[in-house]
Amino acid sequence: MAEHVLAPMHSWLIAPMSDDVSRAVQRLRRAPDVQHVAVMPDVHLAEDVCVGVAMATTRLVYPQAVGGDIGCGMLAVPFNTEAARVREPRAAARILSGFTRAIPARRRNRRQTVAMPENLSQQQLSDARLEGLWRNVGSIEFATIGSGNHFVELQADEDARLWLMVHSGSRALGPAIRDHHLARADSVGGGLKALEIDLDRGAAYLNDARCARRFADANRRELARLVSEIVFETTGGELRWDAAIATDHNHVEHETHCSGRLWVHRKGAMPAWPEQTGVLPGSMGSMSYHVAGKGCQDALCSSAHGAGRLLSRTEARKSITNQELQRQMRDVWYDFRLSDRLRDEAPGAYKDIAAVARAQRDLVKVVRVLRPVLNYKGV
């Protein structure tokens, strides 16, 4: 492998990078055509390219710098009712039960399919095998939330108004698209692979990644619709879609920056152009923020996408007991019967979201603070 000049890097950190994270970032900086790297305060180790990183190129696209869950992101929508309406034990129990019935983590077979919207079902992907997956698996995965850190949460803002926050992505479709194109990409050293944007293979990846982003956005909106039906049945509250905030944090976009036109890859980093609204979630037991971007060019107009993991899932399961999870979640409604399966998602497994927000004051300003009232995760 030819030695490449290190690309410029800027970082906004709450603590020094671990050796593993630092090595991964340095590997990315040395990769061909990488022009700039920005490291967010929620950075943590992940396969190939760290989560919490934005980087820019001019002629190559790196699927690993977007990740498998293409289009994963956040949707926040207010209700026209107060959060106190869902704090009452009977109401919270009804809502949690409704979420369990209506919002699966995944489906197993076609007998449980949900029809995708027409604009999704008509998407054209670059390969016949991906087209088949889109038609067959897409309808099974649509309107599912996934597992891990994906969730539906009901929150209270400073005025005690009820908000919905949804975190989900492109489900099985995103990883399939990534793997299909990685198999056709060129190795560029350090375990990384890239595609020439101006050639057919690069254009095909960009097309399919856009399709995955559309699926993920539509999936979050369908989940919100299902949530709204359940909350309406219990409280009479309805969503105010005119005030919705939607953003995603795993994508590649062709953008204009001070150095010209760049392909900006974001993996666990949301766009933060001047006054662009975004959602910065904490853990399932901590506060979250709605933010507005400041358009910081050194950060490629990007922001952290959340708190970021402090402990790996294995470390969290070793150190956090069921009782400790319940203690950390004492003010938040959730299905405590799932405590053993949720220990790796405990608030203590994540960084302090307030520290993340302070570390990136150059990148965004906080416009609203929200606290969790009820959290639902698929397992």
Tell me, yes or no, whether 83 lies in a domain.
Answer: yes
Tell me, yes or no, whether 329 lies in a domain.
Answer: no
Tell me, yes or no, whether 240 lies in a domain.
Answer: yes
Q: pLDDT tens digit string along 325-346?
A: 999 999 999 999 999 999 999 9
Tell me, yes or no, whether 168 lies in a domain.
Answer: yes
Number of domains in the chain: 1
In this structure, the strands spanning 302-304 and 269-271 are antiparallel
Q: pLDDT tens digit string along 88-121?
A: 999 999 999 999 999 998 886 666 677 888 888 8
Tell me, yes or no, whether 324 lies in a domain.
Answer: no
- The whole-number pLDDT of residue 265 equals 98
Tell me, yes or no, whether 362 lies in a domain.
Answer: yes
Query: Is residue 151 a contact partner of residue 307, using CB atoms and an 8 Å limit?
Result: no
- The whole-number pLDDT of residue 139 equals 86
Specify the CATH number for the domain of residue 163: 3.90.1860.10
Q: pLDDT tens digit string along 176-188?
A: 999 999 999 999 9
Local structure of residue 236 (DSSP, 8 states): -
Rounded distance between C-alpha atoms, residue 165 and residue 167, angstroms: 7
pTM (two decimals): 0.95
Tell me, yes or no, whether 344 lies in a domain.
Answer: no
Tell me, yes or no, whether 297 lies in a domain.
Answer: yes
Residue numbers of the domain that contains 99: 9-310+350-377
Return the amino acid letter for 157: D
Those residues with Cβ within 8 angstroms of residue 170's Cβ, 6 or more apart along the chain or in another chain = 69, 70, 71, 72, 177, 212, 213, 215, 216, 219
